[in-house]
Amino acid sequence: MKHKVIAALLLSSLFSLLAGGVAHAYPGMQQTTKPMESTVDLINVLPKTFPIEPVTFNDVDGKTIDFSQFKGRIIMVNMWATWCPPCVRELPAIERLATKFKAEDFVLLPISIDAEGKQQVQPFLSSLGMPNFNSYYDQPQSLGDVFPLDTIPATFILDQQGQLIAFVRSYVDWDDAKAVSLIQGFIDKGSKKPN
């Protein structure tokens, strides 16, 4: 049921984007009608948080984990696959983006949906010159229960409480300074909330 609600929310936002030609601004800001200047403008910031059910995926060692283990930090979930050229194009930039924030404030979770998991992905990453890139795995695509996985790359950003606050289902240039500002804004907003 929650998957259908989030899918409807994402589709509604996508239609708004297509109709208006502009991604949603930060909550409380007026939408503008100026043309998109950056792929970061494609990111939809939700007007209110959306709870995400705990769904498991695996780390490189096969250990089962879920988003609750990263609470207290902004979580950037990037769904990708080796057979998706825009996904592969994003990988170096999202890796660089993660280095711009303190580990206690931000965590990057690139999650591969490749059918063969680590056996397929690790050699592929080595061939790209990224043998130390820390990918996670969702071979059965269990995360499809909370995120629509029909389009990748797809990035879902969760707040410090593990609730969805933003998403994009397209390639984004994560090297863009606007991406750093966006993530820093989420970090700052969360640090101002009372515990």
Residue-level pLDDT at 18:
33
Distance from C-alpha of 95 to C-alpha of 174, rounded to nearest angstrom: 9
Residue-level pLDDT at 109:
96
Full pLDDT tens readout for the chain, 195 residues: 444 444 444 434 433 333 333 333 333 333 444 466 889 999 999 999 999 988 999 999 999 999 999 999 999 999 999 999 999 999 999 999 999 999 999 999 999 999 998 999 999 999 999 999 999 999 989 998 999 888 999 999 999 999 999 999 999 999 999 999 999 999 998 766 654
Distance from C-alpha of 185 to C-alpha of 43, rounded to nearest angstrom: 14
Distance from C-alpha of 117 to C-alpha of 119, rounded to nearest angstrom: 6
Bond from prior residue into 153 cis (ω within 30 degrees of 0)? yes
Q: Residue 87: which residues within 8 A CB-CB, separation 6 or more?
A: 80, 81, 152, 153, 171
pTM: 0.79
Amino acid type, 54:
P
